[in-house]
A and B are shown apart, each in its own frame.
Chain A
């Protein structure tokens, strides 16, 4: 159980395009979802935390107008990279947790989205 599906797995698009990435919890309700970014050979960097029905909390240095997060239901969160540029090329990973603010509940990760901006 506790499967998180992320779509698409890979996207290549032109500079200036907006890209939407979906993260779905398939067999559980995810009160909290996280979005991460990972550069090659680097650790995952938390971008934002979103609780269902409320605005996302962005980490310092992450532009909220650039990376739009919507967590409208308990099974779906979306990340939209607006007007993407080559420097936005990265591996984006989402994770979901069943309950809010319960530290021992594990995060279940999606398989990531490889975004390449030409």
Chain B
């Protein structure tokens, strides 16, 4: 069993839809949580980050962490075609190793 599980999709939504991306994890030592966005043929770019449990909002993006359920989410409101990319959750504890989920491929259709 992988430490971090993420549904690879693909996920296809119409422009303007609300997108929900999720990851579950098994290591209770994880306390730093991140979402990366990766466009085709590019490296991952940090999109959102949170520490421990709670919500964080940045424009159209909201990241949520529920440590009791070992579950993290990324919500995208008013999705745009430019949001089409692969979204990877990532997390780490105190070991310094950043562990990634498999990535969810999102396509937003105009």
- Asked if A and B are interacting partners, one says no
Q: Which B residues lie at the A interface, using CB under 8 A?
A: none
